[in-house]
Amino acid sequence: MITARRWAAGLLGALIAVATPGAAVADETPAKEPPRVELVLDSSGSMRAADIEGRTRMSVAKQAFNDVVDALPAETNLGIRLLGAQHRFPGSPKSVGCKDTNLLFPVGVVDKVEAKTAIATLAPTGWTPIGRALRAAAKDLGTGETTRRIVLITDGEDSCGLPDPCDVARELAAQGTHLVIDTLGLSLDAKVRQQLSCIAEATGGTYTAITGQAQLTDRLNQLIDRAEATYQEAPLHVAGTEGCATAPVLGPGVYSDREEIGEHRWYRVRLAPGRELRASVSLSLDRRLNRDYGVLLRATASGGRELVRGSDAGSGRTDVQSAGLRWSDGRSADDEDAEPRTVCLVVSNSFAAPSGVRTSPGMPLELTVDLVAASPDPGEPVLGKGWALLGVLALAGLVAGLLLGWLARWRISIWREK
């Protein structure tokens, strides 16, 4: 009898679950993708140099790795890859050694004791195949919706030639892989700084020159923590067009694209009555450019009439150029008969590159679009107050001048009478 009752209760529960699928689905939330980071450590022969606080570059890196592993957040998936260590090809010639990049630990939950033990046994030797290591690290991290990070720690530029590390970084960024590469340089050499800056800027990452063990540890911890803080939904890759009529329609969000030198990239936004468009664009200048350039973001009507623009100019330093704008057409949200209107966004640049600099692929572009409740134009009241204040100041100056002149004449007349 008890068995029959349990069977009936189970059947009733199953029927209720089928009849109300929303209740079952409501409890099912997609699992949050953990932060994914891979550390790429240079184990080439130059890491034997003892010029950081009287210690070798390798010993400084080992100590920093140990500290980072100890402080690693439990939710972070970490991988460790080596380049130039010649684990697989000891004593090999350059043609073979330049293929030597070895995954020490796959990306995942790290056994801290095992990781620290393996790091302690590393001996620097071999070449520096940075380009090949970056490609391999990107594959190690896999794909996903969140932004993934590679942190490259090296004391020198790529000594193997091809593939060129800057080209590899640009290729990865052009693929829309949601990948950021941060670079840490254990040498102050100008060529090393230039190459590591190029790698980082191609993917929106950062370059840091390291001069001490504590600095290296702190910076590694910061970058690993930043992987957790990075927005969980990476920019959606879109392809702007040569005109508004065929441009992709964008809603609120963050988008990535590529723009070549002198190119115009068009996008469309549907703006409802009572709403205000706020947009910004950032271009990562990942290659050498001629001095004096600018970035322009415009909003136009579908017929081509310009509505508003924002611009930014630079003087030749490789960096990020950004511009932003805001616009609303003054229509009320209470107008039920009003239809959303199409606003065209166009990103332009006035870049020029020296001869020999590659123009393709285009430079990384990140476009942010937001649609908020329309607010009054801040220009009019501020401008009115500015003119009023100017008038008051002018009048005060005139009165003060007259008073000072009268006092001066009065003092002169008193002096003459004496």
**DSSP state letters, 283-307:** EE--S---SSEEEEEEEEETTS-EE
**Averaged pLDDT of the chain:** 76
Highest mean pLDDT among 37-51, 91-105, 381-395, 399-413: 37-51
What stretches of 186-284 adopt beta strand conformation (E)?
Answer: 207-209, 236-237, 249-250, 253-259, 264-271, 275-284
Estimate the share of the chain in helix, then strand, then coil, as percent rounded to the nearest 5: 35, 30, 35
Model confidence at 241: pLDDT above 90: yes
For the segment 289-316, what is each residue's pLDDT rounded down to a tens digit? 787 788 889 999 988 889 998 877 665 5
pTM, two decimal places: 0.54
| Band of residue 94 on the pLDDT scale cut at 50, 70, 90 | low
Which has more confidence, 390 or 356? 356
Phi-psi region of 65 (alpha: psi -120 to 50; beta: other; left: phi over 0): alpha
**Given this model, what pLDDT does residue 376 score?**
60
Chain-centre distance for alpha carbon 11 = 53
**Given this model, what pLDDT does residue 397 score?**
78
Token pair in block for residue 277: 């468009």
Which has more confidence, 206 or 26? 206
**Given this model, what pLDDT does residue 30 score?**
52
Instruction: Report which of 263, 254, 183 is spatially closest to residue 223, judged by C-alpha positions.
Output: 183
Model confidence at 19: pLDDT above 50: no
**Given this model, what pLDDT does residue 267 score?**
96
Contacts of 140 (CB under 8 A, 6+ apart): 38, 79, 81, 103, 106, 107
Domain boundaries along the sequence of the chain: 36-229, 236-373
Contacts of 152 (CB under 8 A, 6+ apart): 40, 42, 130, 133, 134, 181, 182, 183, 184, 196, 199
Least confident interval from 25-34, 196-205, 332-341, 385-394? 25-34
Model confidence at 172: pLDDT above 60: yes
Kindly state the average pLDDT of the residues 121-132.
Answer: 77
Kindly state the average pLDDT of the residues 141-145.
Answer: 77
Instruction: Report which of 158, 140, 231, 247 is spatially closest to residue 198, judged by C-alpha positions.
Output: 158
Highest mean pLDDT among 28-37, 172-181, 214-223: 214-223
DSSP-assigned states of every residue in 127-169? ---HHHHHHHHHHHH---SS-EEEEEEESS--SS-SS-HHHHH
Which has more confidence, 12 or 209? 209
**Given this model, what pLDDT does residue 171 score?**
81
Q: Is the bond preceding residue 361 a cis peptide, omega within 30 degrees?
A: yes
Model confidence at 17: pLDDT above 50: no
Phi-psi region of 162 (alpha: psi -120 to 50; beta: other; left: phi over 0): beta
| Band of residue 96 on the pLDDT scale cut at 50, 70, 90 | low
Chain-centre distance for alpha carbon 196 = 16
**Are the C-beta atoms of residues 156 and 44 closer than 8 Å to each other?**
yes
Model confidence at 409: pLDDT above 80: no
What CATH number labels 36-229? 3.40.50.410
Which residue stretches of 328-378 are H helix? Answer: none
| Band of residue 6 on the pLDDT scale cut at 50, 70, 90 | very low
Instruction: Report which of 345, 366, 255, 231 is spatially closest to residue 298, judged by C-alpha positions.
Output: 345
Tokens 């005109």, located at residue: 243
Model confidence at 122: pLDDT above 60: yes
Domain 236-373 has what CATH class? mainly beta
Instruction: Report which of 287, 290, 268, 286 is spatially closest to residue 277, judged by C-alpha positions.
Output: 268
Token pair in block for residue 220: 């590694």
Highest mean pLDDT among 14-28, 111-125, 186-200, 249-263: 249-263
Kindly state the average pLDDT of the residues 378-405.
Answer: 65
Model confidence at 346: pLDDT above 90: yes
